A and B are shown apart, each in its own frame.
Chain A
C-alpha cells in the first residue's frame, strides 16, 4: 500500500490510460467507439424516451429477458475477440514473442474466462429463464418484477466495470479463477485483480436475487393444475439452477470479499505469511465454481429437452427420469469441488472420494443423453437450426464427458493438470453443452419474442461453422495437453506444438464465421420479417404453454390463465381439439408500473465497484448511500401497479 492515494481521485491518474500496448490501446478505442456510437445512434434516431420508458425502466420480465440476452451477445463478441487473439498469439509464438506483450496476454486470458462465464453465459441463461419460464408455467409475471430489474442492472453494472477496465487501468492477470497468493497484493499490486473482484461481486449479488426470484416464481405462480411433475423440462432445470444459485453464490461472495479484504485492508486470509491459508481460497472458490458449471448447463439441458421433443414431434422420452436426473445432478454438484485441485495434496483417500463422486455425476448425465436419443427414436425429425445445435451437442458432449471421466481419475489428473487437455475438456463441456443450448434456445424462442422467425439458411451455416470450428479449435488441444503443453503459454520453444496450434487458430477463425453468420441471420431476418412472420403464435408445432399465446405476447402474457390438466397440455389440446379451459378472473388485472429503481441501483453498484477499485472512497460510499436510499424510498410507495384491460390499448403501455 505504498501507492499515492489522493482524496478526490484515489489512485486514478493519467498512467491509467492504456498506452502500454498498441493492441490494448486499439481495444480501448473500439470499446469507446462502441459506447459513443450507441449514444449517437440513439440520439440520432431520437429514441431516448422510447428507450427509457420501453426498456431501461421496464419491469416486464420479457423486456428484461431480452436486455439480458442483448448484453450476453455483446459480451460474447468481446470474449471471442479475446479468444481469437490468444489463438493467434500461440500460433505465432514459437521461439518468439508473437504480437502480444506477456502482461497483456495474461490480461486477455483472464478477461476471456471472466467474460464468458459471468457476462456471457450467466446473462444468456438468466435472459432465457426470464423470458420463457413465466410463459411456460402460465404466469403473468415473475414473483418480484422490480427485484428482477435490479438484478439485471447489477449484472449490467458488473459488465460495465469489466468493459471499462480496458479503457481505464488494466484487468487482472491472475486468470478467471484469481488464485492467491499470486492474486494477492504482494505479487499483483495495481487495479487489475480489483476490477476482477468487484465486477463479479456486483453481478453476483444480482444473480443471487435472480435465484430467489425464480424459485418463488416457479413454486408459487404456476397456473392451476400445473403440478410439479407437469412442468416443462426447461422450467424444472430453471428451478434446480435457481436452487444451486442461492446455495452456491454465497461461496463466491465470501471468497472474493476475503481476497478484497486481503488486498485492500491488508488482512491475511490467503497470504503466504502471517497465518494466511491460500488453500482455503481454492476450496471456497470451487464450492461455488463447480455448482456454477451446473447452474449454466442444467438450463441448457432443459432447452435441449424442449427442442428435441418439439422437433421430433414426440413427447419427451422418460420425463420422470429426466426430472430425477436433474435433481440428482443438482445435489451431486456440491460434492465434487475438490476435483479442481487434486494436485493440492489433500491426500490419497480424499482425492479418491472426490474422484468417485465426480464419476458418479456422469451417470445421471448419461441418463439424460439416452432420454434424448430415445425421444428422437422413431420420431418425425425436423432439422431446423435449433435441432441441429441439439444433435451437434449430443455428439460433442459425449466426447467431453468422457475426457471428464478421465480427468476424474486422480493419477491421470496429476499428469494432465494445468495442461491444454483440461482447457480442451472444459471448453468441450461449455461450448456444446452450454452455448449450443443457449443458441438453440435463442433460435427456438425468437419467433415467440419478436413475432417472426429467424432465417433458416444462416442458422444452419452458423451451426456448421460452430461445429467444425469447435472441433478444429479444441481437438488439437487434447493432443497438445497429452504432449505436455501447459495452458496459458505466451511463448514456447517446442516446434512440435506449432502445427496443432495453427490448426486451433483456424478453428477459431471458423467460429468467427459462426458468429458472423449469427449476425447475418439476425440482419437478414429483420429485413425479411414480413415474409418470416409468425401469425399463429405456434410456428414449430410446440408442446408447452408459451406457444398457446400470440407472438409477441401481450404485457400480461395470458388474456386468461389456462387450467392445466396434463403434461404438454397445450399439445394435448391441439390433438383432441378440446380448448384449454381457463381459470375464472376474480380480480382486476394489475401489472407493475415502470420503475427507475433498477437503473439507479445499477448506477450505484457501478460507483461502488469503481470507487473500490480505485480507492475513491467518497464515490464508493456515495454509491452505497444511493442504493440504500433508493430501496428505502421505493418502500414508501404503495401505488406501484396499474390496471390493464386485455384486448384494449395493449400497445400503449
Chain B
C-alpha cells in the first residue's frame, strides 16, 4: 500500500472541502426554489385545512430546539476531533445522532398525523408544497444521520486522522446548513400561522 504524504493528503482534503461548498451552494438553490414554490402556493388551500388549523406550537418548539442543540453538539464533536480527543468526538457524535433522530421522529409523527386527518400532500396545492419542502429537509436530515453513523464506525476503525477530520468538517457544514434551512422553514412556513 502506498500512502500519500500529509501534504498531498491535505491538498486533496482542501479540494474536497471546496467541492462540498459548491454542492451546498447547489443545494441552497434547490431549497430556495422549494421555498419560492411554497410562497406561490401558500394560499392555494382548495378548501382544505391551512397551517393554523394543523400546526402545533409545542411540537414545533421541541423540534427546533432539538435541531439547534444538535448543531452545537456536532460543532463540539468537530472541535474534539480537531484537538485529537477520540472518545469525546464519538460521544458528541452519538449525542448529535440522538438529537437528530429525535427531530426526525417528531417530524414523522407530525406529518403522519396530518395524513391521518385527511390533510396529506394530495389534499391541496398548499399541502403538496408544505410536505415537499419539509420532507426534503427531513430527507437531508436522514442522509446526515446515515453519514454521521458511518463516520462513527470509521472513527472506531481508523481513529482520528487528517482525512477523518476533514470528513467530519464536511458533515458539520452539512448539518449547520440544514439548521439554516430549518430556520427558514420555521420563519416562513410555521411562524406566519401563529401570528
Contacts and interface: CB of A to CB of B under 8 A. Distances in A.
A, B in one complex? yes
Interface of A: 143-144, 208, 211-213, 215-216, 219-221, 246-247, 249-251, 253-254, 257-258, 261-262, 265-269, 271, 273-277, 280, 284, 287, 586-588, 590, 628, 632, 635-636, 638-639, 641-643
A254 B27 CA distance: 11
Contacts of A276: 44, 125, 128
A610 B126 CA distance: 30
Given A266-B122, A587-B5, A254 B33 contact: yes
6 contacts: A253-B30, A254-B34, A266-B122, A268-B122, A269-B132, A275-B124
B4 interface: yes
Contact of A261 (B8, B132, B146): B132
Nearest to A243: B22
A143 B20 CA distance: 12
B33 A639 contact: no
A159 to B, nearest CB: 22
Contact of A590 (B2, B7, B123): B2
A517 B154 CA distance: 55
A221 B11 CA distance: 10
Given A143-B15, A212-B19, A284-B33, A265 B124 contact: no
Interface string B108-135: 0000000000000111111011011000
Contacts of B180: none
Contact of B19 (A143, A262, A590): A143
B72 interface: no
A246 B2 contact: no
**Interface size range on B against A:** 35 or more
Nearest to B2: A643
B19 A587 contact: no
A284 B15 CA distance: 31
A257 B135 CA distance: 13
A635 B121 CA distance: 36
A586 B6 CA distance: 12
B60 interface: no
B29 interface: yes
A274 B124 contact: yes
A274 B15 contact: no
B59 interface: no
Given A212-B26, A269-B41, 14 more contacts: A212-B22, A212-B23, A215-B19, A220-B18, A250-B30, A261-B128, A266-B122, A267-B122, A274-B125, A275-B124, A280-B37, A590-B2, A635-B154, A642-B2
B57 interface: no
Contact of A636 (B41, B124, B126, B157): B157
B122 A280 contact: no
Contact of A588 (B2, B37, B124, B132): B2
A274 B44 CA distance: 8
Interface in B54-77: none
B120 to A, nearest CB: 9
B2 A251 contact: no
Nearest to B8: A587
A275 B125 contact: yes
A347 B19 CA distance: 41
Contacts of B128: 258, 261-262, 267-269, 275-276
B26 A251 contact: no
A250 B4 contact: no
Nearest to A281: B37
A212 B122 CA distance: 35
B163 to A, nearest CB: 7
A213 B23 CA distance: 10
Contact of B40 (A208, A274, A280, A641): A280
Contacts of B34: 254
Nearest to B126: A275
A265 B122 contact: yes
A267 B26 contact: no
A318 to B, nearest CB: 30
